[in-house]
Amino acid sequence: MVDDQAQGDTKRAFVRKPVALDRRVTADGASGIRVEPNRYRLVIARACPWANRAAISRRLLGLEPVLSMGIAGPLHDDRSWRFHLDPGDRDPVLGIEYLGEAYRAADPDFSAGITVPALVDGTDGKVVTNGFAQLTLDFATEWREFHRDGAPDLYPERHRAEIDEINEAVYHDVNNGVYKCGFAGSQEPYEESYRALFARLDVLTERLATRRYLVGDSITEADIRLWVTLVRFDSVYHGHFKCNRSTLSAMPVLWAYARDLFQTPGFGDTIDFEQIKQHYYGVHRMINPTGVVPLGPDPSGWLTAHGREQLPGTPFGTGTPPGPPPQSERVPPLTP
Ligand SMILES: N[C@@H](CCC(=O)N[C@@H](CS)C(=O)NCC(=O)O)C(=O)O
């Protein structure tokens, strides 16, 4: 449970625990674990924003043919994420029912959070890493040999300082900021996080009013990280996490930016709003004790025109968009 991940301080603020298994897979194998085609399996859940980053990066970079993906269902219990969307309730490649089995294969005494995304070594079924922040940076850099033709550079050297700076602020105030609002155990840390969240969204609004993407003139890691929170905003963070100064759809610049990316191959085709709502409202019983999942909001607005083609920037620079996702990874089309 996410609340098990949180350590309370005296004001009962939500504090995210450090990543437990943070080994790296690198091109030269200097980390002890080398990038290899068809060896690892990326395990995600459609609901999870941290896992969503990895799914988007994999799509944009075209890693699907060399890095398979397992998809846990939206609900989990104290035995961890479960592959209940798969035939026989088991991941077809790893052969496991619960993701926790792969964590305990890596460390029989593993007692920290069993989280997605997790990169699992298919040769021994052990989790290599659940270090969500490093994972996508490594996809962009260490997995370069296996990128598709026309893949974008999501972490270009000349922009790294700027990307890192934005990512740091977005992580604290937005990505983790919504969780700090939602899981605040008392009024004061909630208000502090709420103010920091919307102040940051105001700053980002100003930045994105005159440019299509956050850094440089095409999509980077910074856009992926901001977007995974924006796309969940109206479905779960606005109500369930009390981030309700306004909906995303009432913030014109961010709403158009988020729609633009939703309609870009590799982004919207990773999103399943039903699974997102089922997870947040169904799993976080401490803040939604009934487990009732709201029917709204109507998601069809995501497909409306955004007008951001007029701004400086093109999605893939000199590269090309990815093709459609593999058949087995398609998400249901949006229905009102
Ligand atoms: N691994 C990261 C982030 C990933 C994360 O929190 N994933 C959530 C889903 S959005 C998760 O797997 N939660 C399961 C749990 O905590 O039991 C962390 O430990 O902070």
| pLDDT at residue 78, as a whole number | 86
**Minimum-distance ligand 1 atom for the alpha carbon of 116:** 12
| pLDDT at residue 4, as a whole number | 35
Residues 61 and 83 in one domain: yes
**Minimum-distance ligand 1 atom for the alpha carbon of 20:** 19
| pLDDT at residue 165, as a whole number | 98
Give domain status of residue 266, yes or no. Answer: yes
User: Residue 74 is encoded by which pair of tokens?
Assistant: 């939206």
**What CATH number is associated with residue 21?**
3.40.30.10
Contact call for residues 116 and 99 (beta carbons, < 8 A): yes
21 lines ligand 1 (CB under 6 A): no
| pLDDT at residue 336, as a whole number | 61
278 lines ligand 1 (CB under 6 A): no
| pLDDT at residue 9, as a whole number | 61
**Minimum-distance ligand 1 atom for the alpha carbon of 2:** 16
Residues 249 and 304 in one domain: yes
Output the pTM of the full model.
Answer: 0.95
How far apart are the CA of 14 and the centre of ligand 1, in A?
13
Residues 165 and 254 in one domain: yes
Residues 100 and 164 in one domain: no
Rounded to 10°, the helix 132-141/49-61 angle is 0
Q: Catalytic residue positions?
A: 48, 179
Q: Return all residues near 313 (Cβ < 8 A) that are at least 6 apart.
A: 211, 212, 213, 216, 217, 218
| pLDDT at residue 257, as a whole number | 98
Ligand 1, atom 16, lies closest to the CA of: 2
| pLDDT at residue 335, as a whole number | 73
Residues 264 and 135 in one domain: no
2 lines ligand 1 (CB under 6 A): yes
| pLDDT at residue 11, as a whole number | 77
Residues 162 and 135 in one domain: no
| pLDDT at residue 2, as a whole number | 44
Range of the domain at 165: 158-316
Q: DSSP per residue over 108-177, as a string?
A: TT--S---SSEEEETTTTEEEE--HHHHHHHHHHTTGGGPPTT---SS-GGGHHHHHHHHHHHIIIIITH
Give domain status of residue 323, yes or no. Answer: no
Separation between Cα atoms, residue 132 and residue 137, nearest integer Å? 9
114 lines ligand 1 (CB under 6 A): yes
| pLDDT at residue 264, as a whole number | 98
pLDDT along the chain (336 residues), means of 10: 46 80 92 95 98 98 98 93 97 98 94 95 96 96 98 98 98 98 98 98 98 98 99 98 98 98 98 98 97 97 97 96 97 84
39 lines ligand 1 (CB under 6 A): no
Residues 178 and 56 in one domain: no
| pLDDT at residue 308, as a whole number | 98
Which of 112, 146, 180 is the C-terminal boundary of a domain? 146
How far apart are the CA of 319 and the centre of ligand 1, in A?
33
| pLDDT at residue 10, as a whole number | 65
